[in-house]
Amino acid sequence: MAEESIIREEKGSYFFFNEDEMDVQNIIKNQTLVLDDRYDTFDKEFFRPLVNLSQKVQFGQNDFKVGYAVEGKEIFRNGDFEITILLTDNTSLNQKAIEVNKKEIIVAVNEWFNKDETLKKEFDWYCRTNKYFLNNSSGGTGDRSRTNDNFRVRNKQLKDKIVNRIKSNFLETRFVSQNRIIESNDINGTAPADRFANVIEEHLKGIYKNHHLSVGYARNQQELKKSVADQQILMDVLEPAEQMVNDYISLHNNQITVYDLIDHFNKEPFGWRFEALLDVLIRLEKKKKREFKYKGQERYDRVNFINKAISTAERTSCEVVSSEEIDQETLDNVIAAYKNIFNEDLPGNQIQSDQNKLFDALKDSVSRKEQNYSDLESHYKNFA
């Protein structure tokens, strides 16, 4: 390999190394590499810039954390799904597909990297040269400084050569997704970043197969607050996301905390944002399928409930419970009893047939009367 010889090529002409260049050449050749040196270099210098991989990827309405490793070298931890690059592993891809977790993507770079002896040697030399410069960061003086500058230029040229080889070979790369091998010709795109993004997209579609049901619900707190304040009367029919959440609450004796709901619907096969889940709860409450409870307080106001539920610390105190259906005769009797006691009608429209509005009107009116009587008591008690 030219990088390890005593001859250099410049613009089509060949030159023997001088004494200092030969000295540096031997120092580079004798650099000791551990596996992490190779894994770090392949990740930082080649793969990650080539595919534009970051610690989060957007899918649908949510952002998902990426767990990422080059073989045994963990780079991004605690991901919602995992990506593993195989570089020199010689295990068959069929075996890997059986062994790995369903949520893990395997990138089988090893299938072409291990076969390309020239690429392997060039990559090894590039790693050794990088390590030499890492251990000699001062750059030296005089002849050594000029020699080092020449080796930096050559290593940059070698890097460009390796990048082009990887780009070309990436078109042949196979993947494992959801324990299935994906052949290279089944992936759309020609640029490595496009192909890799398409693999991730299809992978997440399979893992979070019910994620699309959250489309149309709140994506952030601004949209959530707009939804909770909206006074539009909704049809009683439940949308698929609402039916799923309602069924899950029923499964838990019709009483469950917001903490548990968010925890469940954040995972596969949902991957919903917590704002979307709270928006679903708002719809269920507006459609009179569920009621809110906060620290034991029944029929808790939806605006205040959502303001509490936004806070992680409050979610275990926020519960979603059954909505009790009260017959019309009972509602009429409540209205008549109020008029008989206070000699006035309850304020508000549409309270005759809406148990929630009737409850709110009754609670508000009685609270105001209680405050008035309390003020009178404070004023006149000294005259008794």
Per-position pLDDT tens, the chain of length 384: 444 555 555 555 555 567 888 889 999 999 999 999 999 999 999 999 999 999 999 999 999 999 999 998 999 999 999 999 999 999 999 999 999 999 999 999 999 999 999 999 999 999 999 999 998 877 667 788 888 988 999 999 999 999 999 999 999 999 999 999 999 999 999 999 999 999 999 999 999 999 999 999 999 999 999 999 998 877 889 999 999 999 999 999 999 999 999 999 999 999 999 999 999 999 999 998 999 999 999 989 999 999 999 999 999 999 999 976 665 666 667 677 776 777 787 766 555 556 666 666 666 777 776 777 676 666 666 665
| pLDDT of res. 346 | 75
**Dmax (CA) of the chain:** 116
Angle at the Cα of 331 from the Cα atoms of 326 and 337, rounded to 5 degrees: 140
Question: What Rg value do the Cα atoms of the chain yield, rounded?
Answer: 33
| pLDDT of res. 1 | 46
Distance of CA 90 to the CA centre of its chain: 31
| pLDDT of res. 2 | 47
Q: Token pair of 307, please? A: 């303001």
